Amino acid sequence: MTASIADSGPPPPSNSTADIVVELDEVSREFPGNPPVRALDGASLAIQRGDYVAIIGPSGSGKSTLLHLLGLLDEPTHGVYRLDGIDTRDLTESDRAGLRSSRIGFVFQSFHLLGHRTTVENVMLAEVYRPGTRSTRRKRAEDALRQVGLGHRLDAYPTTLSGGERQRVAVARALVGEPSLLLADEPTGNLDSVTSAQILDLFDDLHHSGLTLAVITHDEDVSERAERKVRINDGTLTEVFR
């Protein structure tokens, strides 16, 4: 019963502590070695529903480790990560994959579109691992593409698209199924300043419509657009107040 509700409409505006999407509680991630590398050290972070958070830091600071933890592609060695209030410790791989599929939308620096598929087929790929979506998959993919302003390029192949268009396809793919969190990893890293601005405008629009965004970047321009800024340095998180 509750399972189907997970796919229901956008969440109400946040006004309570119960509406925390991401909650990191003293999370650490160590990589085995001699000595062991502690890429994340006791990080705590809470992202409210509707927040727009930029996570900034130089390379080697632990950004990717944080990204993978937030994206449930990796597990913390210590601490607790709650996504939508769900304690992600001790989940099976299938559960974690299910959470990734239904609650997190990924946007990558290099787009990761499949070359032999049309725009709409690429977006449809987002729901391949979601049960019971097959019959209405194309319609939702088309809706998502319209939402990012690509309603006219549904059947185009990625090779015929500009960089900005490709990244918008990738955003549309992340938006299908209304995730709790849109997780972007250097989303403008492969784009020029004009198309970067377009993507950031799109992020603003999504933010205003209530979506929760976490953008990992080293680009100051990108982080300036965000509501909140969190700096990561040597595995420690600090909120940047303006």
Partner 1 sequence: MIDLETAQPAPEPRLGSRNDIVRSHFSVRDLLSEATVALTARPARTLLTALGTILGVAALVATLGLAKTAGNQVVSRFNELEATRVLVEPQDRQQGRNNRQVSVIPFDAGDRLRRLNGVAAAGTKSEVGVDGLVRSVPVVDPLGQNEFQIPVLSVSPGIFDAVRATIETGRVFDDGHNERGDNVVVLGPGAARRLNITRVDNSPAIFIGDDSFAVIGILRDVEREPDMLNAIMVVDGYARERLSLFAPAEVHIEVEIGAADLIGTQAALALAPDSPDQLKVGLPSSPRGVRSGVQGDLNSLFLILGGVSLLVGAIGIANVTLVSVLERTGEIGLRRALGATRRHIAAQFLFESGALGALAGLIGTSVGILTVVAVSATKSWTPVLDSWLPFGAPILGAIIGLIAGTYPAWKASATEPISALRSGT
Q: Which of 51, 142, 165, 185 binds partner 1 (CB under 8 A)?
A: 185
- Which CB atom, from 120 or from 225, has the smaller least distance to partner 1? 120
Contact status: 240 vs partner 1 (CB under 8 A):
no
Contact status: 126 vs partner 1 (CB under 8 A):
yes
Only segment of 14-22, 29-37, 54-62, 232-240 that touches partner 1 (CB under 8 A): 14-22
Can you name the residues that pair with 48 across neighbouring β-strands? 20
214, 70 contact by CB (below 8 A): yes
- State the minimum distance, in angstroms, from the CB of residue 3 to partner 1: 5
Beta-sheet strand order (sheet of 181-185): 104-107, 181-185, 213-217, 52-56, 228-233, 236-240
Contact status: 131 vs partner 1 (CB under 8 A):
yes
What letters, b where the CB count within 10 A reaches 16 and e where it falls short, cover 20-39? bbbbbbebbbbeeeeeeebb
At 224 the three-state DSSP class reads helix
Binding-site size, partner 1 (CB under 8 A)? 51
Only segment of 53-61, 85-93, 148-156, 203-211 that touches partner 1 (CB under 8 A): 85-93
Reported as half-sphere exposure (CB side, CA atoms, 13 A), residue 155 has a value of 0
Contact status: 162 vs partner 1 (CB under 8 A):
no
Contact status: 23 vs partner 1 (CB under 8 A):
no
Contact status: 114 vs partner 1 (CB under 8 A):
yes
57 Ramachandran zone, left/alpha/beta (phi>0; psi -120 to 50): left
Only segment of 67-75, 153-161, 209-217, 222-230 that touches partner 1 (CB under 8 A): 67-75
CA-angle at 211, arms to 85 and 1, nearest 5°? 50
- State the minimum distance, in angstroms, from the CB of residue 42 to partner 1: 21
- State the minimum distance, in angstroms, from the CB of residue 17 to partner 1: 11
109, 187 contact by CB (below 8 A): yes
Q: Is the dihedral of CA 98, 54, 211, 107 positive or negative?
A: negative
Q: Which of 53, 54, 57, 74 binds partner 1 (CB under 8 A)?
A: 74
Residue whose C-alpha is closest to residue 48's, from 201, 211, 221: 211
Chain residues that interact with partner 1, rule: CB under 8 A: 2-3, 5-8, 11-12, 16, 18-19, 64, 68, 71, 73-74, 84-87, 91, 93-95, 97-104, 106, 108-110, 112, 114, 116-117, 121, 125-126, 128-131, 134, 173, 180, 185
